Amino acid sequence: MLPVGLDLGNGAVKLVMRGLELSIPNVTAVGSPRSDLGERQEPLNALDVEVVSSAFTDGARRVFVGKLAADQGPQATYMQPNEKKTSSEQAILMYLTALASAVVKQRERAGERISSATTIDEELFVVSGVSLVEALERGVRLDFEQRLSGEHTVRFMSPSPWGGITVRLRITSKVVSEGHMAFLALCQQSPEKSKELSSSLVAVAEIGELSTELPVFERGNINASLSDGLQYGIGTTLTSLLEDIREQTKARNAFPGGRMELAKFLEDKKREVVLFGRRHDITEIIERHLSAAASHVYREIIEVWNKIPTIEHFYVLGGGAALLHPFLKEFAQQDGFNLEYAPTLYRSRWLNADGMFLTAVRLAADTVTAV
């Protein structure tokens, strides 16, 4: 039974298993046989899959996933604000596709030659997460676990290099609170850090695509009565920023890959874009939108700190932390607050998946021992 940590991020699904990390944009589009897609060398950029699962009451699903879905333009479907993962069909499709992709990837890395007619059977112990709000709803986590557990089949279609490969998954699922997993991963950086954080009152602002988690930990355990969450994430900012860029440049199809493509552009520290043969400097628009987003999150952080002044450490994590870092750092320095971050901004995006993998390793071992 292979342990897997799978962060069902609203922007991208991130998966960690031994020897492998995998990230797939959380985008789907209705799939169909297409002769115009051409050959694609990277399988993760050509995810056309058929998914058969008891989680769907009315049969199989044929979908494009990830970059291939984003390339479909208006037909692409992204997770929406206020959409709950526990009741989202897209979340389940992403979950199963990511797992099947990881199984094939891992075998390829081990040197196994997989023909197009191969059927792979794999048993997995998967830890994934939901928002703090959903995690605290009575019965929601258990119901989601039951939908994710059991047997599921993912078949890769053309034009993927994996076309014809079928993966049969037997899953034992555990669903946890996302913010708790990021905190767990922080504690594992070193024995000293673990001791320090486990004996302190610690708050976390985990800025995601569509929401921001604000859990508070007391002696290593989450304090639900002090914790909170916002239905506000970096995706809202990316959407409005994209609209302004298109309006200013008069290019309706600027960044055709949507907020996923724009996020990559921003992460690469780019500030100029070439459209219609002209170079456009969009620094002012970017700075204005990111600064406003950082200000919104910063106010919430300070509100939590004012309410609980005994908080000793306040960490800012997640994909949003990486994009908003320079603005948050400036605001905190002006006010004399000490916000803390992951060892690297890149790793900040992976802390949930890291913590979920650590938990999966432990729980999978306990399951084997119990048997």
- Strand ranges (E), the chain: 2-8, 12-17, 20-25, 27-30, 47-53, 61-65, 77-78, 119-130, 150-156, 166-177, 201-207, 212-214, 216-218, 221-222, 228-230, 272-275, 278-281, 313-317, 339-341
Chain segment 79-108, per-residue pLDDT in tens: 887 788 999 999 999 999 999 999 999 999
pLDDT in tens, 299-343: 999 999 999 999 999 999 988 888 999 999 999 999 999 999 988
At residue 202, the 3 state secondary structure works out as strand
3-state secondary structure of 149: coil
Closest CA to 167 of 224, 216, 106: 106
pLDDT value of residue 369: 59
Q: Are residues 280 and 159 both part of a single domain? A: no
Same domain, 234 and 198: yes
Compute how many other C-beta atoms are within 10 angstroms of the C-beta atom of residue 349.
24
What is d(CA 54, CA 97) in angstroms, rounded to the nearest whole number?
15
pTM, two decimals, is 0.91
How many domains, the chain?
2
Domain check: are 21 and 165 in the same one?
Answer: yes
Q: Which domain holds residue 17?
A: 2-176+352-370
- What are the distances in angstroms from CA 235 to CA 202, 206, 315? 26, 14, 20
Does any domain span residue 279?
yes
Strand partners, 64: 29, 48
- Is 185 domain-assigned? no
Q: Which CATH number covers residue 255?
A: 3.30.420.40
- Amino acid, res. 247: E
Query: Are 230 and 304 in contact, with CB atoms under 8 Å apart?
Result: no
Q: Same domain, yes or no, for 43 and 122?
A: yes
**Average pLDDT, integer, range 132-144:** 89
- Residues 226 and 157 occupy one common structural domain: no
Mark whether 116 and 162 lie in a shared domain.
Answer: yes
Whether residues 112 and 205 share a domain: the answer is no
Joined tokens for residue 220: 């290593």
